[in-house]
Amino acid sequence: MHVLLVSSEVVPFAKTGGLADVAGALPRALAGLGIEVTVALPRYRQIDGARFGLQKIHDGIRIPVGERQETLTVSEAQMPGGRALFLGHEGFFGRDGLYQEKGQDYPDNAERFTAFARGVTEMVRALGLTPDVLHCNDWQTGLIPPYLRTLYAGDPVLGKAASLFTIHNMGYQGLFPAEQFSATGLPRELFQWRAMEFYGKVNFLKGGLVYADCLSTVSRRYSQEIQTPEFGAGLEGVLKERTADLYGILNGVDTEEWSPATDKHLAARYSRDDLGGKAACKADLQRTMGLPVRPDVPVLGVISRLADQKGIDLVAASAEALLAEGTQLVLLGTGDRTLEAAFTALQKAQPTRAAVRIGFDVALSHKIEAGSDVFLMPSRYEPCGLNQMYSLLYGTIPVVRATGGLDDTIVPFDQKSGEGNGFKFAEATAEALLAEVRDALACYRNRPLWHRLIQNAMAADVSWTRSAREYVQVYRRAIAKRRGERGEAAGGRAVASN
């Protein structure tokens, strides 16, 4: 089976969030199961061609974007698990950001990701690729499923290829003014409410949701939540109609990148059997962040996009009370300007207790995972969430809100039975977060109990292999559907049920 995985960001080439981690790690896990994987992404300016050994293999992919003809290049590089193909266009992708600069989305994102999607389909033809499945991810690839079923319906390869569309976040839909629909080149009749129209606008995500053979999202819980008005962001009706084709497959963790036993970013390495190095990582983090080096003081860690989704305002609202519990708070994040200012002010007011780094810093994110005692993730919604899983592996105990993937991965610690791996609260309020952190701190002060909790956390099975097996089953389902067969006939038993 040959899978063409299409994603607007992929580790190690370009990343703004968890989508990149997934697109970077899933190929290797799939390759381990004997699947051939090709990955396609835009060639952004920040991708260092020399460092990754990019080779240009085509320089004349012609595509229409509205009335204009544009020309894309294709470069290739090897990545773990397969080869990556980069679609280049100086005007669209030769910029500093992926989707935005200085907090402002690029005004021509509809055209940019039209060019990407159309570039992918035309590249398949130009290079003579023969994918069985196009695995599309998030709104940036939302045009591909409708392209396959309309403009390319008669193409010998693309017309037969199945598609899986994975939703990483319903909060970002690629919603554009109606006038921009014509840039896509799709038949006009797709601009209607049963297809890609959404309250008078064009919705790229909806294209994927309506036209892909199968749909998935990144946790079982979120696959259920998005079929309700609270989490469906207006598309719950569409998802409900497609419930039979919608799967929830939890993300895994790339343990080559995230493992305290081998992590090169850390001052010391440690494992479940030998936790000694964790104390050195804590001291290193405190030093790096300019905090007093105090082994006895519990460190609360946060690494997050500062966006409404993440509930970081709840941390801001409870920060003084959290620090009054005798903790240190370390926060790394960027995004919402008001939150950035609030945390910068907190650091100024409490320099020996709060340390804040505004920005995106991969090395520091590893140090925080290893050096913190408790990790806070009070998300309002969370399709999967990766940092709570990294925290488990690093023996840093997560305190999370019970939503989406956080709810699926964190089991509340039960002091009596000694079972569980973290702390979980329901209400999206500062009070609920604070109460849960207090419970965690009480446990922290009981060393044997805390040790038990760390042991439980670090034993988590968050490997990609399990998830990759589930993806293969869904790929089989999608292929079978495209061939007009029943899923069972192709040997695919339904995995993560919906």
For residue 365, the partner it binds in ligand GLC, ligand ADP, none, with Cβ less than 5 to 8 A by kind, is ligand ADP
Residue 169: CB minimum distance to ligand ADP, A: 6
Of these, 169, 173, 203, 473, which contacts ligand GLC (CB under 6 A)?
A: 169
The H or E element spanning position 66 is none
CB nearer ligand GLC, residue 22 or residue 410: 22
Residue 379: CB minimum distance to ligand GLC, A: 8
Give me the amino acid identity at 41: L
CB nearer ligand GLC, residue 18 or residue 142: 18
Phi-psi region of 304 (alpha: psi -120 to 50; beta: other; left: phi over 0): beta
- Contact set for ligand GLC, span 400-429 (CB under 6 A): 405
CB nearer ligand ADP, residue 235 or residue 384: 384
CB nearer ligand ADP, residue 66 or residue 232: 232
Say whether residue 24 binds ligand GLC (CB under 6 A): no
DSSP assignment of 311-324 equals THHHHHHHHHHHHH
Site size for ligand GLC (CB under 6 A): 14
Q: How far apart are CA 238 and CA 223, in angstroms?
A: 13
For residue 134, the partner it binds in ligand GLC, ligand ADP, none, with Cβ less than 5 to 8 A by kind, is none
CA-to-CA separations, 353 to 8, 103, 164, 288, 368, in angstroms, rounded: 38, 29, 47, 13, 15
Contacts to ligand ADP by CB under 6 A: 17-19, 21, 303-305, 332-334, 360-362, 365, 384-387
Q: Which stretch, 15-23, 140-148, 424-432, 468-476, contacts ligand GLC (CB under 6 A)?
A: 15-23
CA-based nearest residue to 434, from 376, 385, 357, 395 = 376
DSSP assignment of 69-138 equals EEEEEEEEEEETTEEEEEEE-HHHH-SS-SSEETTEE-TTHHHHHHHHHHHHHHHHHHHT---SEEEEES
- Contact set for ligand GLC, span 210-249 (CB under 6 A): 218
For residue 360, the partner it binds in ligand ADP, ligand GLC, none, with Cβ less than 5 to 8 A by kind, is ligand ADP
- 291 and 330 in contact (C-beta within 8 Å)? yes
Q: How far apart are the two ends of the chain, measured CA to CA in Å?
A: 25
For residue 238, the partner it binds in ligand ADP, ligand GLC, none, with Cβ less than 5 to 8 A by kind, is none
Say whether residue 251 binds ligand GLC (CB under 6 A): yes
- 32 and 26 in contact (C-beta within 8 Å)? no
Query: 131 preceded by cis ω (within 30°)?
Result: no
DSSP assignment of 217-262 equals ES-HHHHHHTTSHHHHTT-HHHHHHTGGGEEE----B-TTTS-TTT
Of these, 27, 383, 420, 492, which contacts ligand GLC (CB under 6 A)?
A: 383
Q: Which stretch, 182-190, 207-215, 384-392, 484-492, contacts ligand GLC (CB under 6 A)?
A: 384-392
Say whether residue 140 binds ligand GLC (CB under 6 A): no
Torsion sign (Cα): 231, 249, 312, 142: negative
CB nearer ligand GLC, residue 218 or residue 358: 218
CB nearer ligand GLC, residue 27 or residue 298: 27
- 47 and 79 in contact (C-beta within 8 Å)? no
Q: How far apart are CA 202 and CA 185, in angstroms?
A: 13
The H or E element spanning position 287 is helix 276-288
Residue 236: CB minimum distance to ligand ADP, A: 20
Residue 382: CB minimum distance to ligand GLC, A: 5
- Helix, strand, coil fractions of the chain, as percent rounded to 5: 40, 25, 35
Say whether residue 22 binds ligand GLC (CB under 6 A): yes
Q: Which stretch, 17-25, 84-92, 204-212, 443-451, contacts ligand GLC (CB under 6 A)?
A: 17-25
Binding residues (CB under 6 A) for ligand GLC: these are: 17-19, 22, 168-169, 218, 251, 382-386, 405
